[in-house]
Every structure is written in structure tokens, then in C-alpha cells.
Amino acid sequence: MSALDAQHVRSATPDDIDELVRLRAYLLEEAPSADLPYAVTSPHQSALWREAYRAWLSEHLCEDGPLSVVVVPGAGRLRACATAVIDQRAPSPACPSGRAGWVQSVVTDPRDRGCGLGTAILDHLTAWLRARGVDEIVLQTTPAAADFYRRAGFLASGEDLLFKPLHIAEKAL
């Protein structure tokens, strides 16, 4: 693959929804260990998140707002994707404007890992966030991906990420 191919990042469209669901399943269904709070533990949970994600994408892909879903296309499929969301929070020394970017669901198809697609997507989203006045980018990662993000310039915050579900879907049917 040439360097030019790795840099072909574009905004997702409604035509990409099936592939975005397929790629995100690597995060939620295939890669996580069962002790992660977002790991799918039943076919019912799988169907619920897939339906909700499709609806969310259908609603948000066509609007110009504080959200960007980007993809790297391939022959008949998507090779990688990621989402950035701009959040308005209380100002801090690291984020004086209070505008923080959250990067989520960075996924590269296993067939395409190691080709620079994740880096291309992060670079694209970083430029998109910077152009919108964002002061910092925040993301959560798994131990398996932590080195990738460190190489991309992300630093450990020293804080624990805590999780409290307010609505728990049935574990199994």
C-alpha cells in the first residue's frame, strides 16, 4: 500500500453505516475481554447496540455539528474508522476554552492493521478538532492499544476512568 492510500480519509456517509457497524463490532464484541463494561455478553445485547448505533449514525452523519465520523475506504469495504465529538466542559489550565475533543471507536480492520491507517485517522481528526478551537483531545484505551496512542503523542492523565451504568441492558435472554 502506498503512503497516499493510507492518507485517504473522508467523512462517513449514510452509505457507510453497515460497514461502520461491522468495524465497531471488533471493539464491542470480538476484541474486549468479558470484564470490560462495554463488552457484549449476549446476542440480545449485540442486537440492541447495533440497532441503536445505526439509528445514531443515521441521525448524526448528515449534520454539520460537534461530531465527525471518518473512514478510510477500501475495495468494497471500509478499512478503518473513528469518531470525534466536541464537548464543552469547565475551563482548566490544559483546556482554557473548555472545548475538549473526545476520540472514540478508532478501529482498523484486522486485515489492514500496521498500514498507518489509525495514524492517518488520528491526524485527520486532530486537524478537524484544532480547526474548531479544541484545546485538548481525550480518549480511553485498552492496554493493547495504549502504546499506539502514546506513539501518537497521547499522555496518561493519571486519573482513573470510572464507569457507572444508569441503564443496564439485559445480560442475556
Q: List the 99-108 sheet strands across, edge first.
A: 10-11, 67-73, 78-88, 99-108, 136-138
Could you give the residue ranges of the DSSP H alpha helices within the chain?
Answer: 3-6, 17-25, 43-60, 117-131, 143-151
CATH superfamily ID and name for 3-151:
Gcn5-related N-acetyltransferase (GNAT) (3.40.630.30)
For residue 116, which phi and psi values (nearest 5 degrees)?
90, 5
pLDDT 10s digits, 126-153: 999 999 999 999 998 888 889 999 999 9
pLDDT 10s digits, 2-59: 444 445 999 999 999 999 999 999 988 876 555 677 778 889 989 999 999 999 999 9
SS3 114: coil
Give residues with Cβ within 8 angstroms of 115, minimum separation 6. Answer: 1, 6, 79, 108
**Confidence bin at 162 (pLDDT 50/70/90):** confident
pLDDT 10s digits, 72-126: 999 999 999 999 999 999 999 989 999 999 999 999 999 999 999 999 999 999 9
Instruction: Give the start-to-end residue ranges of the domains of the chain.
Output: 3-151
